[in-house]
Amino acid sequence: MSNRLPIIGVIVAIILVLLYSSIFVVNARQQAIVMRFGQIVDVKSDPGIYFKLPFSMFDADTVQFVDDRILRFDLDDIRVQVSGGKFYEVDAFVAYRIKDPRVFRQAVSGSVQLAEQRLKTRLDAALRRVYGVRGFEAALSEERGSMMREVRDQLRADANSLGLEIEDVRIRRTDLTAEVSQQTYDRMKAERLAEAERLRARGREAAQRIRARADREVVETVAEAQKEGEILRGEGDATRSATFANAYQRDPAFFEFYRSLNAYGMSINNADTTMVLSPDSEFFRFFRNPSGAMPGGAAATPAPQQPATGANP
């Protein structure tokens, strides 16, 4: 009995090795491609424990695991030419999943890197075609969504040939190249300078119109004021003359006396005035006689409104 224990142990070990090499586990994030002597015999997409023939070292049955998740790859700094002839730089990414593991294995030997290399080439071509029939502004407008759908639709046929399904295509960035950026900046600067000059010209024109209108209004206002002043001055002179005439008619003697007093006051009001007159002059008749009569019974003559002033005659 004791001699059989090592043999039983070896048999059990062989059974365990055979069992271990016959079992494989597929989790929820994977798909399994089962191959026998290099040929695909089965694909396991549901998670669980599965069996295969042992001795994979002899290519009896081998299992290749591929992702069942949505994968993504990016394509940066793609130089595309738009319909206007200028070049721009575009960043984009593609979200995809492995839809048919059999086709995926046959097309790219189950290599994600090889599949992405092929998709990048076709994505580059699709972006160039889509941008080539549009202007730069389209990528910045509402048309951006339709552009991404168009790129996605163009990629789907190529992706299906690789066993892949395109979930989405997104354009992350559309930017000017260095030379186009400088040209655009210079053009925008020139447009802004021209617009500023137009605004300044309109401002100068408006200012000139305002100044001309203001000058005209000043001239009209001054002329109207002068006209009204002359009218009022004339009316005042007429009223003054009428008042003087009325006063003279009522009492000529008092009016003559009043005007003589005003003449006296005006003549001596200025200290710098020098008058050389004879004491018997008619100008001083009210100083000699309150009635204003001249010596010898001569009739009084109206006193002047303002005596003559000046230097010695």
Q: What is the C-alpha to C-alpha distance for residues 81 and 180, in angstroms, rounded to an integer?
A: 11
pLDDT tens for 121-154 read 888 888 888 888 877 777 677 777 888 888 888 8
Q: What percent of the chain has pLDDT over 90?
A: 15
pLDDT tens for 185-221 read 788 888 999 999 999 999 999 999 999 999 999 999 9
Q: Considering the chain, what is the average pLDDT of its residues?
A: 79
Average pLDDT over residues 12-39: 79
Domain boundaries, the chain: 4-67, 70-176, 182-237
Q: What is the C-alpha to C-alpha distance for residues 19 and 13, in angstroms, rounded to an integer?
A: 10
Q: What is the C-alpha to C-alpha distance for residues 45 and 257, in angstroms, rounded to an integer?
A: 139
**pLDDT given for residue 78 in this prediction:** 82
pLDDT tens for 219-278 read 999 999 999 999 999 999 889 888 878 877 877 777 777 777 777 777 766 666 676 766
Between 3.40.50.10190, 3.30.479.30, 3.30.70.1170, 3.30.830.10, what CATH number should domain 70-176 receive?
3.30.479.30
pLDDT tens for 278-296 read 666 666 666 666 555 555 5
CB proximity list for 14: less than 8 A, separation 6 or greater: none
Q: What is the C-alpha to C-alpha distance for residues 104 and 232, in angstroms, rounded to an integer?
A: 110
Instruction: Collapse the DSSP code of 304 into the 3-class scheme (helix H, G, I; strand E, B; otherwise coil) and give the result.
Output: coil
Distance of CA 153 to the CA centre of its chain: 36
> Got the DSSP string for 108-142?
HTT-HHHHHHHHHHHHHHHHHHHHHTS-GGGGGST
**C-alpha distances in angstroms, 27 versus 42, 66, 256, 311?**
16, 11, 138, 135
**pLDDT given for residue 310 in this prediction:** 37
Rg (CA), the chain: 60
